[in-house]
């Protein structure tokens, strides 16, 4: 069974701070996706990384896929209250399904 | 708005009952995925249908079943409901059968409460 562990589980920071969320597994994935979910809504895709070592930037968010394609990180620079939400990583395999991580709940306060 | 619709938004029922959740995928998407999200289990993949055929199965209980109709909408049937089935149920869709690579577009979910 493929498992994706995210850390930290909860994160409460002030506006302007930087943070990093980690997504780790003992399994190799063909792709890694990051989603953000807000209360009462479904997850929304932020980015997909497919190559080991790949780094993608989305404004203040930087995503990295580990060289061995077993782990990933999400770094947010100068967090804003609008970044508040549940961040989920999801590993894709040659099979059809995505395996979702355990989630990181981020709260950014003024 | 993802383009994926789910009904109903909320459902309250009793143990032992049976319910049906409905999902309409984004226009043009052929795959539909069902997920269960609970506080202690996270987002769990249940099942995928592609163009009317079952494509992949996850941690779906035998009491649960799904189907995808010719117009590509899908229904998830939950029977002999137990308290532990209370959760958010999400439907997602994607253009192809490659759920492991495609972006999946999620609906707003159905919150099921079993009393």
Task: Give the DSSP letter of residue A66.
Answer: -
Contact B90 A43 (CB under 8 A): yes
Give the span between the Cα atoms of B49 and B44, in whole angstroms.
16
Q: How many CA atoms lie within 13 A of B106 on its CB side?
A: 24
Does a cis peptide bond (omega within 30 degrees of 0) precede residue A8?
yes
* pLDDT reading at B72 higher than 90: yes
Q: Which of A45, A94, A100 sits opposite B43 (nearest CB)?
A: A100
| Per-residue pLDDT tens over the stretch B4-36 | 999 999 999 999 999 999 999 999 999 999 999
Share of chain A above pLDDT 90, in %: 80
For A16-63, write each residue's pLDDT tens digit: 999 999 999 998 998 899 999 998 889 999 999 999 999 999 999 999
Closest CA of chain B from A43, distance in Å:
6
Res. A3: pLDDT tops 90 = no
From B42's Cα to the closest Cα of chain A, the distance in A is 6
**Interface A-B: count of C-beta contacts within 8 A:** 69
CA distance A91 to A70: 9
């Amino acid at each position: 069974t493929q498992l994706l562990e995210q850390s930290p589980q909860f994160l409460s920071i002030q506006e302007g701070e930087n943070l990093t969320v980690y997504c780790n597994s003992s399994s190799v994935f063909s792709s890694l996706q990051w989603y953000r979910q807000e209360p009462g809504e479904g997850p929304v895709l932020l980015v997909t990384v497919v190559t080991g070592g790949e780094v993608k930037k989305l404004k203040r968010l930087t995503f990295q896929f580990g060289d061995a394609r077993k782990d990933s990180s999400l770094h947010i620079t100068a967090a804003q209250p609008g970044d508040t939400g549940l961040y989920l990583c999801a590993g894709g395999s040659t099979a059809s399904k995505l395996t979702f991580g355990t989630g990181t709940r981020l709260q950014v306060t003024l | 708005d993802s383009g994926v619709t789910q009904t109903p938004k909320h459902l309250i029922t009793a143990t032992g009952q049976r319910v049906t959740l409905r999902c309409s995928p984004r226009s043009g998407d052929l795959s539909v995925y069902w997920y269960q999200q609970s506080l202690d289990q996270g987002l769990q993949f249940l099942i995928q249908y592609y163009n009317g055929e079952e494509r992949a199965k996850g941690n779906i209980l035998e009491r649960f079943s799904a189907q995808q109709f010719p117009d590509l909408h899908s229904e998830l049937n939950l029977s002999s409901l137990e308290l532990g089935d209370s959760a958010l149920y999400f439907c997602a869709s994607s253009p192809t059968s490659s759920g492991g690579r495609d972006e999946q577009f999620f609906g707003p979910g159905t919150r099921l409460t079993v009393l």
